[in-house]
Amino acid sequence: MKKIAVFASGNGSNFQVLAEQFPVEFVFSDHHDAYVLKRAEKLGVKSYSFELKDFADKAAYETALVQLLDQHQIDLVVLAGYMKIVARTLLDKYEGRMINIHPAYLPEFPGAHGIEDAWAAGVKESGVTIHWVDSGIDSGQIIRQKRVPRLATDSLATFEERIHQMEYALYPEVLESLGIERLAK
């Protein structure tokens, strides 16, 4: 069975959706106070957290991440709201085995504020993209995308909620397509 680790920086709603459907070996957060760590505890999933500021530089930080992934023999790293740009140290070991979810229809609106940027641009639709991680920002090969229309009745909050609902449906589909087995029911 393939082992997955989920990286998240904040709330962890995508992590929770995945952990309820797939065996997650562990979750990692780059913030000690991230709510995702509480979600992991409630779900009985191992969690780890350390911050970039605790290391001499980003290479040392990512070396610690690689050691953690190797220790658990992780097959696929699943980024779910992980707000750090992945650098060479981690990519050298895990490129081709790391995916990311982005709340916009790439290549439209890459970066940290995909939903807000799409809203501000007044688009008629945006979406969700799941892609392989490479050295660029949201530039890796696209695995799957789905459009989410912007309704006339939408507020930014309702538009954002519908994009998140699409994420919760799409990420499990992609994991399954990559050979990750669902939990037995």
Contacts of 125 (CB under 8 A, 6+ apart): 105, 147, 148, 149, 150
Active site residue 131: no
CA angle 145, 177, 1 (to 5 degrees): 140
pLDDT along the chain (185 residues), means of 10: 96 97 98 98 98 96 98 98 95 97 97 96 98 96 98 97 98 97 88
* C-alpha to C-alpha distance for 181 and 38, rounded to whole angstroms: 25
Residue 184, pLDDT score: 86
31, 32, 38, 43 alpha-carbon torsion, rounded to 10°: 80
For residue 99, count other CB atoms closer than 10 A to its CB.
23
Q: What is the pLDDT of residue 65?
A: 98
Predicted local confidence at residue 128, as pLDDT: 98
CA 94 to chain centroid, in Å, comes to 15
Exactly one of 102, 113, 131, 164 is catalytic; which is it? Answer: 102
Residue numbers in the known binding site for (6R)-10-formyltetrahydrofolate are 58, 83-86, 100
Q: In what order do the strands lie in the sheet with 24-29?
A: 46-49, 24-29, 4-7, 76-79, 98-102, 125-132, 142-149
The rounded distance, in Å, linking the Cα atoms of 140 and 134 is 5
> Which residues share a beta bridge with 126?
148
- Residues 132 and 129: their CA atoms lie apart, in Å, by 10
Which domains does the chain show, CATH number per domain?
4-102+130-142+167-177 (3.40.50.170)
pLDDT of 136: 93
Known binding residues are: 12-14, 58, 83-86, 100
pLDDT at 42: 98
